Amino acid sequence: MSNIKSINFKDKKALVRVDFNVPLDKEFRITDDTRIREALPTIRHILDQGGSAILMSHLGRPLEKLDANGNINKQKFTLQHLVKHLRKKLKARVNFADDCVGKVAAKKAAALKPGEVLLLENTRFHHEEEGGDEGFSKQLAALGDVYVNDAFGTAHRAHASTTIVARYFVKNHKCFGFLMEREIENATRAMKNPEKPVTCVTGGSKVSDKILLLETFLDYADNILIGGAMAYTFMLAKKGAVGNSLVEADRVKTAREFLKKAKDAGVKVLLPKDSVCGDKFGADAQVQVCPSNQIPDGWMGLDIGPSAAKSFAGVIRKSKTVIWNGPMGVFEFPAFAEGTKAVAKACAAATKKGAFTMVGGGDSVAAVNQLKLAKKVSFVSTGGGAMLEFLEGKELPGIKAIHE
């Protein structure tokens, strides 16, 4: 593989896979442009070197959300929604091709001049994208001279534009973009020989989603802090009463086995001592704080409690490396946001004291953004599922394809 800095982009057309799968509101306005902003340095670099950039991305899952007539909802999922914003951010000419393959794409790509950008329509408008179809990948590859993958958020998908397309570029004609490089570098720094003590914080609703991650943490963590609804499956494993909290009854054994493995490995696992409970799942629920193993029937744990928040924050503040994936509670509801807030603030405080702190995974990232703390931690990943799989130690197909 090549490094982006070692490729000469002059008069070249770079085919760049970005992850512009950004949230849009009902009027199709971008509500969080982080993923676009983070991809700008790569695009700018190509243009500044005298090259042109052909950008391809997916947006949402259009094939899973067909309209009433069974057709793709192009109005909703078109990448056209991003053109104006891109022009503004790049201060460059941004053209749009209303199909990512075929005559229009080929013609517009061929007409690109140095310093110009062409944004291709949603790659997922073709089922060949997710199927990793070779013919479709070849058509995409034919548009550019060089392939740059900067779509870390989609690197866990072996799709045509993220993975298969790379086969049609020789080694010194493909590379990662700057964002991809940074994501890999930071996650690797956290996982390989991290400075101790290492604290891994995880939350979210399901043990089944996070068990692989938890087991990988056993390899290098000193402390594992577990919040979110998944904590109540652990409480069940410890024979606690969890009322109506969300649990996975079929994962109680998994949780019990994990606690045993952690003990054998000498890794400290902290479960929330207390919980902020609600009498229903909603912003307007009645609220009371209960010990997490004595939640009354009719009540459910929706956030870690104040004493748990204090002890979690204490451990985080004393750490030299922190990896955080998953919120502590339903932080979208103010009554259940304090636990996640406490963790975010403790991460910021640890960073200030010189710790390396990394936040990955969609919901915890949304939390640090909402709290305006993103700049106060060492690194915020643009990957949700991709970062989770990377931290689980999996080889992501989009990364492997560049190395091959």
- Nearer to Mg ion among residue 60 and residue 115 (C-beta): 60
Which among 317, 312, 216 is positioned nearest to 272, based on CA atoms? Answer: 312
Which among 271, 279, 311, 312 is positioned nearest to 295, based on CA atoms? Answer: 279
- With binding defined as CB under 6 A, does residue 326 bind ligand 3PG? no
- With binding defined as CB under 6 A, does residue 153 bind ligand 3PG? yes
- With binding defined as CB under 6 A, does residue 131 bind ligand 3PG? no
Q: Which of Mg ion, ligand 3PG, none sits in contact with 45, Cβ below 5 to 8 A by type?
A: none
Q: Say how many C-beta atoms besides its own lie within 10 A of residue 61's C-beta.
A: 11
* Surface-to-core class of residue 115, CB atoms within 10 Å of its CB (0-12 exposed, 13-18 middle, 19+ buried): middle
- With binding defined as CB under 6 A, does residue 205 bind ligand 3PG? no
x-or-dash string of contact with ligand 3PG, 366-395, rule CB under 6 A: ------------------xx----------
**Amino acid code (one letter) for 168:** Y
| CA of residue 44 relative to chain centroid, distance | 23
- Nearer to Mg ion among residue 60 and residue 385 (C-beta): 385
- Nearer to ligand 3PG among residue 32 and residue 257 (C-beta): 32
- 260: which residues sit within 8 A by CB, 6+ positions away? none
In angstroms, the CA 351 to CA 377 distance is 6
In angstroms, the CA 334 to CA 184 distance is 34
- With binding defined as CB under 6 A, does residue 154 bind ligand 3PG? yes
- With binding defined as CB under 6 A, does residue 360 bind ligand 3PG? no
- Nearer to Mg ion among residue 132 and residue 383 (C-beta): 383
Cα distance from N-terminal residue to C-terminal residue, the chain: 7
Which among 36, 43, 38, 89 is positioned nearest to 379, based on CA atoms? Answer: 38
- Nearer to Mg ion among residue 296 and residue 385 (C-beta): 385
* Surface-to-core class of residue 8, CB atoms within 10 Å of its CB (0-12 exposed, 13-18 middle, 19+ buried): exposed
Looking at residues 337 to 396 of the shown chain, list those that interact with Mg ion (rule: CB under 5 A).
Answer: 385
Residues 300-316: b if buried by 16+ CB within 10 A, e if exposed: bbbbbbeebbebbbebb
Binder among 9, 15, 16, 21 for ligand 3PG (CB under 6 A)? 21
Q: Nearest residue by C-beta to ligand 3PG?
A: 21
Smallest distance from ligand 3PG to CB 94, Å: 21
Smallest distance from Mg ion to CB 368, Å: 18
x-or-dash string of contact with ligand 3PG, 26-65, rule CB under 6 A: -----------------------------------x----
Contact 325, 293 (CB under 8 A): no
- With binding defined as CB under 5 A, does residue 60 bind Mg ion? no
Choose the stretch contacting ligand 3PG; rule: CB under 6 A; options: 83-91, 104-112, 151-159, 256-264: 151-159
The HSE-up count of residue 342 (CA atoms within 13 Å, CB side) is 23
In angstroms, the CA 392 to CA 385 distance is 10
Indicate which residues carry an active-site annotation: 35, 206, 362, 385
In angstroms, the CA 214 to CA 387 distance is 14
Choose the stretch contacting ligand 3PG; rule: CB under 6 A; options: 3-11, 78-86, 149-157, 324-332: 149-157
Contact 182, 77 (CB under 8 A): no
Smallest distance from Mg ion to CB 15, Å: 23
Smallest distance from ligand 3PG to CB 240, Å: 33
Smallest distance from ligand 3PG to CB 229, Å: 20
Task: Tell me which residues touch ligand 3PG (CB under 6 A).
Answer: 19, 21, 61, 153-154, 157, 384-385
Task: Tell me which residues touch Mg ion (CB under 5 A).
Answer: 385
